[in-house]
Amino acid sequence: MNNYIAFLRTLLSFSVVFIFIIGCQTKNKKAGKEIAVSSETQLPERPNILWLVTEDMGPYIPSFGDSTIVTPNLSRLAKEGVVYPNMYSTSGVCAPSRAAITTGMYPSSIGANHMRTTSYTVETGLPSYGAAPPAEVRMVSELLRINGYYCTNNDKEDYQFTPPKTAWDESSSYAHWRNRNGNQPFFSVFNFTDTHESGLFEPYGFRNSETRHYHSGDRNYEWKKGRMTEEETPVHLLKDTKFYIPPYLPDTPKVRRDMWKMYNNIAEMDKQVGAVLKQLEEDGLLESTIIFFYGDHGGPLPREKRLIYDSGLNTPLIIRFPNKQHAGTIDNQLLSFVDFAPTLLSLTGIELPSYLQGQAFLGEHKVEKEREYIHGAADRFDGFTDAIRAVRDDQFKYIRNYRPNQGYYLPVEYRERIPTMQELLRLRDEGSLDSIQALWFREQKDAEELYDCNTDPYEVNNLAKDPIYKGKLEELRIEMDRWLYAIGDQPNLPERELITKLWRGEDNQPVALEPKITIENNLIKLTCSTEGASLGYKIIDKEGSISKLWEVYEEPFEILEGSKVMAQAYRIGFEPSKVVE
């Protein structure tokens, strides 16, 4: 297979077609000729939104230039929708990335960029803690619930903080739009985990639990635990398939086997995506729903996941609009994960909160000016810490290393379970890695890195000291400084000091104060002295039955005679209050 990333960049440079949402106009280039295009996207007043989210996913599918594996469901989605090749995560790992998606804020601005802060306390000597954004910040799903949407998550959360109970109508392996009442508009998230890096571990086999996507909503179905054996695992790709091996990995049998597993996992994920899309069609909801497919960051392989090279940040995005509007087009604009929350609100006609650090690229509140830059950050991964920041325009990536005397490679035990990682370490110890493969293992880093991502898609040729690129280097330095200041990021702040800052100078995690329940004019009123707290409540009827959902309190409400109210206060980064009645 050809170098699919280089091929993709070349292809896109000659076939860029932008879409135009809600009557916006722009100009596009095709084969060097400017073409003015204008069109409108017709959406329902309250469109349903379906997010299909896979893990550890680089552009390894046909609609993004890689034809190694057949993905009929994703290819159909791309044929009927819009392909966005330039979607970038804010981090090369899942929890910080998901924090950005759900809050619309950069993880490094809210204390969410250190991965696995509730564990590895012995290794780091630090207490367990979570992100703590400003008081006004809500998960985007809670904002949709407040505005009448039924919101479900199936089934992974992992936001680098504990989500409040007000965030979802349901978050479980049974969560499904089918559980809503009547024709209530919905926002439903389905997470597919077979493409996760752990899917490369030995012994190889698919997770039995992935069949939940075929039985979502069926509460009588019980899933098998653990993994299938390799013999039980469906084979979607011939084992003697020839693979293109990126130059930062050695071409050995173990690496080729991991590449086979990666593509086989993608094919299984595609099958699961198809199962959910079939349910949507069976329910007659396809043409009233906006469908997003994306990964939670870049690829699963070593020197991909956890790094802020494009291999760790770039992930496919496909959006299908009702009635196949803009079908088969490519939108090449730069997009960031912080743009998801404002775009989701914009598509549903909800006013955007002022705290959002991203911008809407679709819908009622779509910005007039597209992004010039995307930004990324890397800090702690499990028990190991670094401090790296990146900014990228449509061609060049600038990386600033705040710990240049520390090597790039971090001995993360979880990653070292991957046979390819074990192979890299073996060849490193033998002195058998070539000059590109050895870059990751050098003992020190350059303080600054600059890459031309068009001619050097694997980011192995550092141009920072080349005088020809002095102007671009200075431009991206200035943009990085602007961004860091704008979001209040202190890249090399010791983590213990970060915790003190998040905990507002206290020795322990702050706790939301208990809500107060009062009755005024026969209406139940809830209040809480914790600034920015979300208040959730349930009704207990006179027979003692408790409602299933934690409703989001917005205004005083009535209850039937003999009923009671139970309430709890939440704020992201705080321990929830005690439940009061």
Q: How many CB atoms lie within 10 A of CB 413?
A: 10
Whether the Cβ atoms of residue 259 and residue 244 lie closer than 8 Å to each other: no
The burial class, CB within 10 Å (0-12 / 13-18 / 19+), for 501 is middle
Whether the Cβ atoms of residue 340 and residue 89 lie closer than 8 Å to each other: no
Q: Which two tokens stand for residue 10?
A: 């070349």
Tell me how far CA of residue 352 lies from CA of 71, 90, 228, 349, in angstroms: 35, 21, 45, 9
Q: What are phi and psi of 537, to 5 degrees?
A: -145, 155
Q: Which two tokens stand for residue 489?
A: 């990021």
SS3 236: coil
Which of 477, 470, 489, 295 is closest to 373 using CA atoms?
Answer: 477
Whether the Cβ atoms of residue 571 and residue 131 lie closer than 8 Å to each other: no
Q: Please report the sign of the dihedral spanned by the C-alpha atoms of residue 227, residue 228, residue 234, residue 240.
A: positive
Active site residue 24: no
Query: How does DSSP classify residue 28?
Result: E
Which of 251, 399, 229, 394 is closest to 312 using CA atoms?
Answer: 399
The span from the CA of 534 to the CA of 137, in Å, is 10
Q: What angle do CA 411, 256, 226 make, to 5 degrees?
A: 70
Kindly name the residue from 94, 151, 453, 528 that is annotated as catalytic.
Answer: 94
The span from the CA of 28 to the CA of 37, in Å, is 8
Q: Which two tokens stand for residue 443?
A: 């003992």
Bond preceding residue 107 cis, omega within 30 of 0: no
Tell me how far CA of residue 203 lies from CA of 20, 264, 411, 417, 462, in angstroms: 47, 15, 21, 11, 38
The span from the CA of 498 to the CA of 492, in Å, is 10
The span from the CA of 88 to the CA of 308, in Å, is 10
Exposed e or buried b per residue across 324-333, where buried means at least 16 C-beta atoms within 10 angstroms of its C-beta: ebbeebbbbb
Active-site residue set:
94
